[in-house]
Structure 1
């Protein structure tokens, strides 16, 4: 079967939404596809009972083909290798998943073992060597403090995901829609990922409070997070809206840059002077839009019937 190359998949830096869905339930899978999420993560861990995993694996392999056909990044969350992880890999790798997520990572050795297993499956199945990405999931305090060694364990690692519920439980914290219990770790997680040259995927917002969700997304965008995971297809549109420069934002940024640079050249500028921090923020926003525009132009040639949103 024909599989797109690494160059044709959405870059990790432009993957705004990571939507988790059942590895077994076809209705949930269709709803996930219909959401137009940037990344669709078929789950074989929390969403699937152990007895149902053998039946789910071939469905996940087939789902990977459908994801790629519409331009979504095709991903699977397997179980830990000490459990059903190797059986999961053997069942889904024939579908050519582009990303493998590993849960509950607490040491570099878990990533090394996964990378070695993927090496073998790629060779066995004739998949292009090195093209299957790895995304560790950090779900404990121990995983947080070891994150630099984890992220350095394999060149396959493109991004890293911060969990919410298991991490909160490990900390003994109280959950709330304002996210106060995890905001300090979300900030640290972003810094750690940036330092390691990996994309930070923000933890899910597991409430159905639209106002609180908007505040959560605004906070995430403000500190510099560019990707968010979710288990609710209906949240994808809000995630995309929050993490994609809007026409209004771009118009404002363009004016901000023009006015600042005109003043710097000694020209007259109407209104209040543009402050330097606002100028640099505007420039970063415009650069981000350029990334999206370049990707959209490429996507139109790759997926004429399924261009990513």
Structure 2
């Protein structure tokens, strides 16, 4: 079975955990926290002097991710910086996805696609197996999102970055996150419109109550994936973005009551309105996708 067939599908990747490119201790901690995706970062978290050594380390890390059922990804530098050297250094490890920072145009994605295609051919990797994940970090990137996300069939997901974007907007940061609510909602719409998974921006405060509120807001509007730099946040992200047994039971009960009345049977319990029925159906559908993935992966812990 191909690597593409066995990797967790993009729509079920809830947590995207960033780690430095040359820090085995933090990489090991990341693997042990059980994220859906580990993103080895060659840009912000790896100094230029350490990048040559980090590339070789990351290529090996991708194999360690696969052995644990974790999707391995790499954030390279911009192509007009160290990005081409990054690609050549990490592609032998067959990362599932390449993240491109500071994306502001479709042309950047097309150029990355061409370089990945050439390297896949050179290295004997299956054509098209390497996904592209643009990262949007500026107002220009947000405005150009529809073109960026449609530029290549390799684009499977897109990441919204918090701190650089906040600086570009001159937004005042706070743990309630309201300064970016409008951008996060727009980002969601742009991604869904082209069939691309939106990865919500990280929550960079050490406040568990505020994190829970932020995750609840994100899930309420439809976001189902989030990035983080903290391994201890992975469990909270998974709990918020995965239907729990209680939620599944409640959704089944709500759907059953609505459908019974719809089919002319006596009402059992309070009235269920169509919006709540539709929400319940979507939750059950997502739960079914997790169950199917677990069966496909041959691992009951794949949720």
Q: Shared fold by TM > 0.5? A: yes
Q: Deviations over 1:259-281 (max 9, x none)?
A: 00111111112322111100010
Which of 6, 17, 20 pairs up with 1:19? 17
Q: Per-residue displacement from partner, 1:22-70 (whole Å, max 9, x unpaired)?
A: 1100000000100110010000000011111011110000000000111
Moved over 2 A (4+): none
Does the CA-based 8 Å contact 2:17-2:37 persist in structure 1? yes
Q: Is the 8 A contact 2:55 2:89 kept in 1?
A: yes
Q: Within 2, Cα distance between the matches of 1:282 and 1:196?
A: 24
Please tell me whether the aligned partners of residues 36 and 308 of structure 1 are also in contact (alpha carbons under 8 angstroms): no
**Separation (CA, whole Å) in 1 of partners of 2:51 and 2:71:** 22
1:51 corresponds to which of 29, 49, 52 = 49
Q: Give matches, 1:106-255, under 5 Å.
A: 106-255=104-253
2:31 paired residue among 13, 30, 33: 33
Q: How many corresponding residue pairs?
A: 303
Displacement of 1:220: 0.4
Query: Tell me, which stretches of 5 or more residues in structure 1 are unaligned?
Result: none
CA distance, structure 2, for counterparts of residue 173 and residue 280 of structure 1: 35
Counterpart in 2 of 1:78?
Answer: 76
Distance in 1 (CA, whole Å) between partners of 2:138 and 2:268 is 52
Cα deviation per residue 1:181-201 (whole Å; 9 max; x = unaligned)?
100000000000011111100
Select the residue among 276, 279, 291 that pairs with 1:278. Answer: 276
In the TM superposition, what whole-angstrom CA distance separates every residue of 1:243-270 from its partner, at most 9, and x where no partner exists?
0000110110000000001111111123
Aligned equivalents of 1:52, 1:156: Cα separation in 2: 29
Q: Displacement, 1:4? A: 4.2
SS at match of 2:192: helix
Distance in 1 (CA, whole Å) between partners of 2:268 and 2:51 is 64
- Inter-partner Cα distance in structure 1 for 2:191 and 2:80: 26
Distance 1:38 1:263 in 2: 40
Q: Greater relative contact order (Cα 8 A, min sep 6): structure 1 or 2?
A: 1
Maintained 8 Å contact 1:139/1:166: yes
Q: Does 1:308 align with 2:302?
A: yes
SS of corresponding position for 1:137:
strand
How many angstroms apart in 2 are the aligned matches of 1:106 and 1:257? 43
The CA deviation at 1:5 is 2.4
Scaled by the length of structure 1, what TM-score is found? 0.96
Asked if the contact 1:70/1:308 (under 8 Å) is kept, the reply is no
Could you tell me whether the CA contact under 8 Å between 2:293 and 2:302 is conserved in 1? no
With normalisation by structure 2, the TM-score equals 0.98
